[in-house]
């Protein structure tokens, strides 16, 4: 009997592999970030300081298994890193890179940030969110942002839910009602050194996430020059 040859996924296909991402997210815990996974980082293509290539080199040095670059309203950092990864030797051990994006949105008349993962950057409907500026009007509504991310075959996550001018209880409920897939449960509020998830806030968000059947993500929200710190 002739067996079908297994064709490896391209790095581009891996970047949009939401099923693998869901498997990873289902196993995250307090020790997952920042040395195993990091799903919230910025480059100089938005409000960060890191060059994208320096970011991925740090990620490899740290030993990250998987990551996403989540620049505000831009995928240029992701694209730069993806091109660099394509140039590396096939036998080189590299972390799994997913597409990422952070969009400023409106939920319950509060400004919130929605993270997108595993989407297709080429999806035309996503273009208004890739212009380097916050969306306005109807395009800024959380329901519209989440709908567009889903149309681009991505996963939508409410970022750092304890940082806003409303309670995480109210915001996570409202987000779940308009289709959010997950919340950034493991997050370091207050920029502690060394970076570690804030225990009280993490427990609070994890309870809410479980109540609504949501995925959990983790990330350093790096804006500076060190992936192990927020600033």
pLDDT of residue 7: 42
Residue 170 scores a pLDDT above 60: yes
Q: What is the pLDDT of residues 58-79, one digit of tens each?
A: 999 999 999 999 999 999 999 9
Residue 11 scores a pLDDT above 90: no
pLDDT of residue 151: 98
pLDDT higher at 10 or 74: 74
Residue 6 scores a pLDDT above 80: no
Secondary structure of the chain in the HEC alphabet?
CCCCCCCCCCHHHHHCCHHHHHHHHCCCCCCCCCCCEECCECECCCCCCECHHHHHHHHHHHCCCEEECCCECCCHHHHHHHHHHHCCCCCCCCCEEECEEEEEEEECCEEEEEEEECCCCCCHHHHHHCCCCCCCHHHHEHHHHHHHHHHCCCEEEECCCCCCCCCHHHHHHHHHHCCCCEEEEECCCCCCCCCCCCHHHHHHHHHHHHHHCCEEEECCCECCCCCCCCC
Rounded to two decimals, the pTM is: 0.95
Q: What is the pLDDT of residues 112-148, one digit of tens each?
A: 999 999 999 999 999 999 999 999 999 999 999 999 9
pLDDT of residue 120: 98
Q: What is the pLDDT of residues 76-112, one digit of tens each?
A: 999 999 999 999 988 788 999 999 999 999 999 999 9
Q: Architecture of domain 14-218 in CATH?
A: Alpha-Beta Barrel (3.20)
């Amino acid at each position: 009997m002739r067996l079908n040859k297994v064709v490896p996924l391209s790095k581009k296909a891996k970047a949009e592999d939401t099923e693998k991402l869901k498997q990873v997210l289902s196993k995250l815990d307090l020790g997952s970030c920042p040395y195993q996974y990091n799903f919230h980082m910025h480059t100089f293509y938005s409000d960060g300081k890191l060059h994208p290539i320096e970011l991925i080199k740090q990620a490899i040095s740290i030993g990250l298994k998987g990551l996403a670059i989540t620049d505000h309203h831009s995928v240029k950092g992701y694209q730069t890193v993806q091109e660099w990864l394509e140039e590396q030797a096939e036998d080189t051990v590299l972390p799994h890179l997913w597409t990422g994006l952070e969009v400023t949105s409106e939920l319950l008349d509060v400004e919130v940030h929605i993270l997108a993962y595993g989407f297709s950057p080429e999806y035309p409907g996503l273009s208004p969110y890739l212009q380097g500026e916050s969306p306005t009007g109807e395009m800024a509504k959380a329901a519209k942002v989440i709908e567009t991310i889903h149309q681009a075959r991505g996963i939508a996550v409410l970022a750092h839910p304890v940082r806003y001018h409303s309670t995480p209880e109210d915001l996570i409920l409202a987000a779940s009602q308009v289709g959010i897939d997950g919340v950034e449960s493991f997050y370091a509020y207050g920029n502690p050194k060394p970076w570690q998830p804030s225990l009280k806030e993490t427990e609070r968000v994890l309870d809410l996430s479980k109540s609504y059947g949501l995925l959990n993500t983790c990330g350093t929200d790096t804006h500076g020059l060190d992936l192990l710190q927020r600033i």
